[in-house]
Amino acid sequence: MTETEDVMYAEPVRVLVVDDEPAICRALTIALTRAGFEVVAAQSGDAALSVLSSQHVDVMVIDLRIPDTRGDVVFELAAATQPHLRHQTLFMTGDISERAYKLILSCKCPSIRKPFELKELIGAVETLVPHRGRARDARGQSA
């Protein structure tokens, strides 16, 4: 088992993945689950907002270009519903428009450009995890 696959958190960390491309949602769900996260995937802005209105998520990973509702709009609504997401969101994008660039600068959330390595995305998500500590660290074992 690799180090990434062996990560477990003391409490489940729920990550909401928002991307309109089914293959990306699947790949991110598998990779993040193997990294020890609990993952909820949404393939539209409306689906993401539905998840956010019904359950708590610790971190959101969102594509800024989703067809039904722009990613920046979903981000603002998510932050209004769950304020911690204003600082615990990772933006994914294939290109950065001026609007997206301003959003990323203003909220100081990290962004990742497509295409990316799954390892890079997992590392970025781990930096956003609330201070809960990994179960392995709590037991005093080294990573």
Domains in the chain: how many in total?
1
Q: What confidence score (pLDDT) does residue 65 get?
A: 85
Token pair of 52 as six digits: 């956010």
Q: What is the pLDDT of residues 24-35, one digit of tens each?
A: 999 999 999 999
Residue 119 has pLDDT above 90, yes or no: yes
Query: pTM for this structure?
Result: 0.81
Q: What is the pLDDT of residues 70-117, one digit of tens each?
A: 888 899 999 999 999 999 999 998 777 677 677 777 788 888 988 999
The whole-angstrom separation of Cα 57 and Cα 79 is 11
Kindly list the strands in the beta sheet with 14-18, ordered across the sheet, starting from the edge strand earlier in the chain: 38-42, 14-18, 59-63, 89-93, 111-113
Residue 7 has pLDDT above 70, yes or no: no
Domain membership flag for residue 1: no
Domain membership flag for residue 96: yes
CA 98-99-100 angle, to 5 degrees, is 90
| Domain membership of residue 42 as a residue range | 10-132
State the CATH number of the domain containing residue 116. Answer: 3.40.50.2300
* Mean pLDDT (the chain, rounded): 83
